[in-house]
Amino acid sequence: MIRINLNSKLIFTTTFLIICLLLAIFSYYNPAQFLKLREKGYFLGSIFHYMSFNSKQALTDFLENTTQAKKIKKESELLKNELNQLIFREKNHYQELEITNQRLQKLLNFKEVTPYELISAKVLAYSPEGFFQVIYIDRGKKDGVIQGMGVVNPQGLVGKVVEVYLNEAKVMLIIDKRSNVGVRVQKTRDIGILQGTENPEACELHYILTKAELEIKDTVTTSGLGETFPPGIIVGYILSAEKNPNYIFQQIKVEPAVNFGKLEELFLLAQKK
């Protein structure tokens, strides 16, 4: 191995000395040609230097542009992500907050104008065995809730408390078949009984005489007869009224004022102290 390295060095040194000797002889006998050759060498060297410098500058510019492009791409992705988050909040969270604020404002206005003592409550769940018949609320004995209390929201009458526990209560909705509410047609002052049909869009109004002149959309309110509900709470609106000369009473359908598929915040009616 050492011998091979020594031979390689000897050959390189000998070749270099021979080239130097030839150049010296050439320059001695042909000085003019040697000058031209040297000038061409300088020219080729300058070209090489120019190309080397420009290549280095181009490579530097390329690397800088690549780095800048990556930085811009990263910033663009961050801005896009922030924009998508803002769009999501605008379409979902912020709109929900606005709707909630509007709903709470209605509740506040309702509470201010209602002449009853009100206990606020929220719906915990709909009963699975009777989805449009019974709900559970987050108020119970510890909050002063008692059986038989009326339950309302800004739209009108919701139902009444039928069972009370320590921290919650069971409410039977007015659309339950077991529900019977004493009501009055606001315009004609006719009194009847509103009964649920388990249909959230229609209840039956019984015991309104055939001679009563009812109109579609007439308002139906609680009559105040009995101790469950105070008078004047909106229950619903006349949906249809059919007269049959063979019957004493009309066959009447009432559209509930409350949207029972969207119950959230409620109030329990309590006796004023």
**Successive 10-residue mean pLDDT values, the chain, 273 residues:** 56 67 58 54 48 58 71 75 59 53 60 68 85 89 93 91 95 94 93 94 95 94 82 92 91 95 88 60
- CA dihedral over 129, 135, 139, 141, signed as positive or negative: negative
- The reported pLDDT for the residue numbered 8 is 64
Residue range 212-254, pLDDT digits in tens: 999 999 999 998 887 678 888 899 999 999 998 889 999 999 9
Would you say domain 180-257 falls under CATH 3.40.50.1100? no
Rounded Cα distance, 189 and 236, in Å: 15
Show me where the domains of the chain are located.
Answer: 2-67, 98-173, 180-257
Q: What is the pTM of this model?
A: 0.60
Residue 137 · residue 152 · CB < 8 Å: no
For domain 98-173, the question of CATH label 2.40.10.340 is answered with yes
Tell me phi and psi for residue 257, to 5 degrees: -75, -30
Write out the two tokens for 73. Answer: 């791409």
Domain 98-173 identical in fold to domain 180-257: yes
Q: What is the pLDDT of residue 2?
A: 46
User: What pLDDT sits at residue 55?
Assistant: 57
